[in-house]
Amino acid sequence: MTNLALIASSTFSPNLWSDLRDMWQYSFMQHAFETGTVIALVAGIVGYFVVLRRLSFAAHALSHAGFAGAAGAVLIGINPLFGLLSFTSLGGLAMAALGKKAASRDVQIGNVLAFMLGLGVLFISLYKGYATEAYSLLFGEILGISTTNVFITIAAAILILLAVIVLYRRLLFTSLDEDVAEAKGISMLGMNIAFMLLVAVAVSVSVEVVGVLLIFALLVTPAAIAQQVTKNPRHGLIVSALVALIATWFGLFISYYAPYPVSFFIVSLVFATYLIVRLIKHLTAQ
């Protein structure tokens, strides 16, 4: 019986506290909340800079590179997370070498993206195991996350958050004003490499929750919402992380009662929030 089917039998009761206690009895739900929390924070924070740098498409392409890596790892029988991390990191380094051109190289990036997806499909078809592996990579499967991956994800998240704290002002400067930042002595290549590696790790861990195809849900939409609601970058980081966090928690909570994928609920929640924010902005601007 899958985890999704196991919890699908749960019904909503007026006593939320009792429901939460029941939910917490399942170790996979505990893992999902623990991992989902750190991943949402990381994706919300790194995603804020992705949107500022107009690298949404590049980040999306990185997740496809990760898909090929993860499918290759599944094929040779190692942890897919390692395949994800290695392929996204290599892709990130290549994009860092492109610098600000990465944001405007849609065609080249699109070509690599399509090839990586094709490579992933080949690896999956060569794999003689279950089709659920492919499904998990494409759409996420946080309810099936292993204890090992919980630890790897938390360790990666702590490293990313520490790196963002240390690099914050330089990341912001190079995101908003590359020419002046360079004149002020900041190495653009160094910052591009550091940032794209952060994105690579953030993408890799986010794939566990929302999958390759829904990566925008955690990495781009919460940041886009934050940029609509605040002009202050520090507040923007907090809003972006909170939106990703609340959507992930609610997605997990709703999925406890409904037999549908968690990633669907997360995507729907952030998308609805984005629409509402845009609508309010549009109405208040008139």
Binding site for other proteins (CB under 8 A): 52, 54, 165-170, 172-173, 176-177, 179-186, 227-228, 230-234
Report residue 152 as tokens. Answer: 């790897």
Residue 14 or residue 179: which is nearer to other proteins going by CB?
179
Residue 101 or residue 184: which is nearer to other proteins going by CB?
184
Q: How far is the CB of 190 from other proteins (least distance, A)?
A: 12
Element (H, E) at 111: helix 106-126
Residue 274, exposed/middle/buried by CB under 10 A (0-12, 13-18, 19+)?
Answer: middle
Report residue 240 as tokens. Answer: 């972006």
Q: How far is the CB of 203 from other proteins (least distance, A)?
A: 23
Q: Cβ distance 157 to 41 under 8 Å?
A: yes
**Residue 32 to residue 131: CA distance in whole angstroms:** 22
Q: Locate tokens 């080949």: which residue?
A: 122
Q: Cβ distance 211 to 223 under 8 Å?
A: no
Residue 5 or residue 165: which is nearer to other proteins going by CB?
165
Residue 164 or residue 203: which is nearer to other proteins going by CB?
164
Q: Cβ distance 200 to 62 under 8 Å?
A: yes
Q: Cβ distance 267 to 210 under 8 Å?
A: yes
Residue 97 or residue 180: which is nearer to other proteins going by CB?
180
Rounded to 10 degrees, the C-alpha dihedral 111/86/70/113 comes to: -10
Exposed e or buried b per residue across 201-215, where buried means at least 16 C-beta atoms within 10 angstroms of its C-beta: bbbbbbbbbbbbbbb
Q: How far is the CB of 94 from other proteins (least distance, A)?
A: 24
Q: How far is the CB of 232 from other proteins (least distance, A)?
A: 6
Residue 128 or residue 231: which is nearer to other proteins going by CB?
231
**Residue 191 to residue 177: CA distance in whole angstroms:** 13
Q: How far is the CB of 107 from other proteins (least distance, A)?
A: 20
Residue 4 or residue 229: which is nearer to other proteins going by CB?
229
Q: How far is the CB of 283 from other proteins (least distance, A)?
A: 17
Q: Cβ distance 194 to 53 under 8 Å?
A: no
Residue 21 or residue 235: which is nearer to other proteins going by CB?
235
Q: How far is the CB of 227 from other proteins (least distance, A)?
A: 5
Q: How far is the CB of 33 from other proteins (least distance, A)?
A: 28
**How many helices, marked H, and strands, marked E, lie in the chain?**
14, 0
